[in-house]
Every structure is written in C-alpha cells, then in structure tokens.
Amino acid sequence: MSIIAQYGDVFIFLACAFGLFMAWGVGANDVANAMGTSVGSKAITIKQAILIAVVFEFLGAWLAGGEVTDTIRKGIIDPALLKGDPQLLVYGMLASLLAAATWLLIASMRGWPVSTTHSIVGAIVGFAMAGLGLEAIGWSKVGQIAASWVVSPLMSGTIAFMLFKSVQHLIFENRDPFVAAKRYVPMYVFLVGFIVAMVTLTKGLKHVGLQLGLGESLLYAVLIGLGVMLLGGFLERRVSRNRSEDDTFGFAGVERVFGVLMLFTACAMAFAHGSNDVANAVGPLAAVITVVQSGGQVGGQALVPWWVLVLGGGGIVIGLVTYGHKVIATVGTGITELTPSRGFAATLAAATTVVLASGTGLPISTTHTLVGAVLGVGLARGMAALNLRVIGTIVMSWLITLPAGAGLAIMFFFMFKGMFG
C-alpha cells in the first residue's frame, strides 16, 4: 500500500504517457483498417480519410468506448489475487501498455496490419504469468477473446461475401446497372446508419448518462437510418451517368454511386473502430487510475473517467495523422483489387461485426475483421482475385503478435518492479 501512496502521482503520469503512446500505435496501425478500403478503392483521398477518421474515431471512442474497456481492465486477470499486492497490478498494466505500444511501433514501421487487441491481451497475459503465475489468469475470458479472433474474420467474411453477392445480383446483373444503383443504394445507406446508431444507443451511451430501452433505441436508430438515407439520396442525385470510351458495361457510373456510399461506410467503420479499440489504450490506464485513486483497492467498481476516453481518442488521431499511411497501403491495395462497390461490402461487413462485438463487450480485432471482410469480397470474385503472398505475410505478423506482446511485457514488468521496489 505504501508504494501506491508514495508513487501514486508518478504512476498516473506514466500510465497517461504510455496510454497516449499506445493510442498513437492504435491510430498508426489500426485506423488504417478503418480507412484502407475507402482509400484503396479510390472512393476518397488520403486527406479526406484522415479528416473522417479524426472526427468519427474520436466520437466512437468517447461515446461508445466504455463497454469493451471493462473487459480489458478487469476480465483477463482475477483481481482478487492482487488484493495484497495492488502495486503489482500497477506495474503490470504499465508494462502491458508499454509492451503493446512498442510492438505496434515496430509493426507500423514495417507496414504490417497487426492486431492491437492481440498486442494488449498478449501483454497482459505475459505480465500475469510472470508476476502472479498461471492460475491468476482468467483463462475462460482469454479463451472467449481468442475464439473471437477466429469468429470475427469468419463472420465479417461471410457478411461481406453475401453483401457483395447481393450488389452483383441487384445492380451489376441488372439490364441498366446505373438506374438499379440509384434505386438500391439508398437501402444500403439506411443499413449503415441503422446498424451504427443501434449499437451506439443500446450499449455506448451509459457513461454519458443516457439510458434507453430497446424499443426507444430501435425507434431512434430507424430515424437516424432514415436521416442518413435522405442525405445519401441527396448526394447520390448529383452523380451523373457520363460514360467513357473504355467503359463497355456502363459500370463507371455505378461505381461513382458507390463512391458516395463509401463516404458513409468510412464514417461507420471509423466510429466502430474508435468504440472497440480505444479500450486497448485506455483499459489498462483506467485500471491504474482506479487502483491509485482508491488507495490500493483492487477490483473496485469505477467508471472510466471521461478525460481518459478523450486522451485515447486524441492519441488515436495523432497516430493516424503521423504514421497511418503505410498500413493503409497494405490493406487498401495489397490483398485484392478494390473498387468502391467491393470496398463498400467489405467495410460495412467489418463495421457490422465490430459494432456487434462492442455491444457484447468482446474485444475483437478490427484488423482480423477487416482483412476477413476483404478476403470475403475477393472470394466472391474467385481465388485468382486474391494476393496470397500478402495474405501470408499478414497472417505471419498476426502469429508473432501474441508472443511479442507477452515477451516485452515480462521484460518491462521486472523493470518497473526493480525501479519502484
């Protein structure tokens, strides 16, 4: 207890600094997943992508980031085992943040889209094994999270496959694809607005003080979906049919209509990503603040302070602006050739999977989800459409992430233990 009383302010300062570094890593590596498809399909420019991400990542983190933060903060280790040694939890969470952030820096420099969720969960498991022993880890929770790493790419890949097939059937195989696009795209826009609104309203607004029932949430989500649909219809009306020489099937106009839709899915994906992945940066930070402010009590119930979510959101934005372009290139152009219609199917599928996971409090990997969705779209066009060499490199970097996070965390844990006694 005396260590916490003695160094409390130092611990909070270090936790904020490492939390910001980790949020920077999330922005540099993971926001590319939210924006890669939009930039890769040339629906938006890299500057527009950064602008959208700045606004919607921040909003997602602040409005809907509380639920997943709880799982990262309390679900992985059994807090009861730390009641006698609360300083060990503080060392461990500081080590986890620094370890995961360091690994993300290395991966971002190499352009690998790794999982920030993998990084932080691996780091927390590593510190728990080193500092407390194997029995301290909530293996059932870790198992749940690990299962979601398999389930999320499968789920998003399946949704993306079905979405793209529906686009092919309703629009591209129509006698007049351009007219069909004008008719059906508003329906997809409604879907984007409805899904994001629904999850935000049912799960995300607790710490802002809004408690809505399921019926109310449904009603508001439908209204928001309709509002977004009207806005999409207005923007879509400005897209003309002008055809170029090499556009034999008249698909260029259709892709321009989908370009409008990609604006909405990019916003949805940025919001969904902010809501799910801010937890990776601020979960351990919230744990340190709770332990220090409660004078060493472990497992005390505490809401994540609003400024912690703001710090996380701010760090994510800085990471994207300064270093996000490398991973955007890998996701956007490396796996398969994307057009706005393909990018739309992948992004909406990934956003749907992520917001559903945020709603249930499961910290899934946005990276795995989006890569799964892009693979689903590629598969809808046949195996030849996929770049298997790039996919192999991505999977390799995924496999290294867990042990890398754990190894670094063990090293930093003993470093902090030595520094503070």
pTM of the model: 0.77
pLDDT digits (tens, 9 = 90+) for 123-159: 888 888 887 777 777 777 777 777 777 788 888 899 8
| Residue the block writes with tokens 């997809």 | 188
Q: Dump strand ranges (E) for 280-372.
A: none
Assign 411 a pLDDT band (cuts: 50, 70, 90): very high
Q: Contact at 8 Å (CB) between 163 and 349?
A: yes
CA-based nearest residue to 404, from 12, 7, 25: 25
Identify the pLDDT of residue 300. Answer: 54
Segment of 211-220, 221-230, 319-328 carrying the highest mean pLDDT: 221-230
pLDDT digits (tens, 9 = 90+) for 161-205: 998 888 888 888 888 888 888 888 888 888 888 877 776 676 555
Identify the pLDDT of residue 103. Answer: 93
Q: Please give the Cα distance from 62 to 271 (Å, whole number).
A: 10
Identify the pLDDT of residue 72. Answer: 54
| Residue the block writes with tokens 């994906």 | 269
Q: Give residue 412's identity as a one-letter amino acid code.
A: F
Q: Contact at 8 Å (CB) between 284 and 15?
A: yes
pLDDT digits (tens, 9 = 90+) for 83-102: 777 788 888 889 989 999 99
Assign 257 a pLDDT band (cuts: 50, 70, 90): confident
β-bridge mates for residue 336, sequence order: 386
β-bridge mates for residue 137, sequence order: 77
355: left (phi over 0), alpha (psi -120 to 50) or beta: alpha
Give the list of residues 6+ apart from residue 309 with CB closer than 8 angstroms, or none. 61, 62, 65, 66, 69, 278, 282
Q: Contact at 8 Å (CB) between 374 and 336?
A: yes
Average pLDDT, the chain: 78
Q: Contact at 8 Å (CB) between 266 and 38?
A: yes
Give the list of residues 6+ apart from residue 393 with CB closer than 8 angstroms, or none. 112
CB atoms within 10 A of CB 262: 26
Q: Contact at 8 Å (CB) between 368 and 115?
A: yes
- Lowest-confidence region among 148-152, 295-299, 410-414: 295-299
The token pair at 168 is 């092919």
Q: Contact at 8 Å (CB) between 243 and 250?
A: yes
239: left (phi over 0), alpha (psi -120 to 50) or beta: beta
390 or 331, which is more confident: 390
Identify the pLDDT of residue 409. Answer: 92
Helix or strand (DSSP H, E) at 279: helix 251-293
Alpha helices in 65-138 (DSSP H): 66-70, 86-110, 116-131
Identify the pLDDT of residue 30. Answer: 77
Q: Give residue 58's identity as a one-letter amino acid code.
A: F
Q: What is the 3-state secondary structure (H, E, C) of 66-85?
A: HHHHHHHHHHCECHHHHCCC
Identify the pLDDT of residue 242. Answer: 63
Q: Contact at 8 Å (CB) between 285 and 367?
A: no
| Residue the block writes with tokens 């998003």 | 156
Assign 410 a pLDDT band (cuts: 50, 70, 90): very high
